[in-house]
Amino acid sequence: MSEKGNVGKLDFPFGVDFDLVHGIMKDPQNHVVRLASSMRGHYKDAKALEALVALGDPVHYEVFEYRIPEQPGQLQFCISKTYPGTVGGECFMTKGHYHKVPDTAEIYLCLRGEGWMLMKRSDGSAARERFLPGRMVYVPPLWGHRTVNSGDEPLISFCVYPGEAGHNYGDIEKEGFPERVFKRSGKVEFVPSSKAG
Ligand SMILES: [Fe+2]
């Protein structure tokens, strides 16, 4: 039986190949692509986003994953790839999410690129951690998280989280994050969302 044939059962060990130079998972079973047009409502400058959509609707980020059962005891894993660019000066980012099962953690090991993980809790507390190649970010249970690319090349991380965690995007779409990340003339700025809008 091929390695891939074993994966469906998940009661048998299997292996997955990665290209660590390019940050690619070989033969993923699921590939999520988020275009600029799927990021409406997330950036401060909605007009700048629409201009970007009209210019060809570029990819903002991609996720490469395997289909692992959403069950306790299993581990989900993926490659997250966020492209470089800005929308009205605001760095390209992921939508961000809490986990559907909120008290589940996640680790992101940065393979390439640079940027920040923005994190927040529903009680209003906020944090950010640097993404650099070889640096791992630990997202504790209950913390929403969003990847921001502040560099000039794709920001790529390998992620692992509990099998049952799932994703909850709704709260983030309504509330955003406490700060926004801008890059102007090569300088990165963190602006409280209350001021940035
Ligand atoms: Fe997550």
- From ligand 1's centre to the CA of 123, what distance in Å? 18
- From ligand 1's centre to the CA of 187, what distance in Å? 28
- From ligand 1's centre to the CA of 23, what distance in Å? 18
Q: Coil, strand, or helix at residue 171? A: helix
Is residue 9 assigned to a domain?
A: no
Mode of pairing for the β-strands spanning 75-82 and 187-192: unpaired
Q: For the chain, how many structural domains are there in total?
A: 1
- From ligand 1's centre to the CA of 110, what distance in Å? 14
CATH code of 118's domain: 2.60.120.10
Instruction: Return d(Cα 163, Cα 172) in angstroms, integer.
Output: 21
What pLDDT is attached to residue 1? 36
Q: Coil, strand, or helix at residue 145? A: strand
Instruction: Return d(Cα 57, Cα 137) in angstroms, integer.
Output: 30
| pTM across the whole model | 0.92
Helix/strand/coil percentages in the chain, nearest 5: 15, 40, 45
Is residue 4 assigned to a domain?
A: no
pLDDT by residue (tens digit) across 7-48?
555 678 999 999 988 888 999 999 999 999 999 999 999 999
The whole domain housing 45 covers 15-196
- From ligand 1's centre to the CA of 157, what distance in Å? 12
Is residue 165 assigned to a domain?
A: yes
Is residue 63 assigned to a domain?
A: yes
Is residue 10 assigned to a domain?
A: no
Is residue 2 assigned to a domain?
A: no
Is residue 1 assigned to a domain?
A: no
Write the single-letter amino acid at 191: V
Q: Which residues of 35-53 are buried (b: 16+ CB within 10 A; e: fewer)?
A: ebeebeebbbbeebbeebb
Residues in the chain predicted with pLDDT less than 70, given as ranges, are 1-10, 195-197
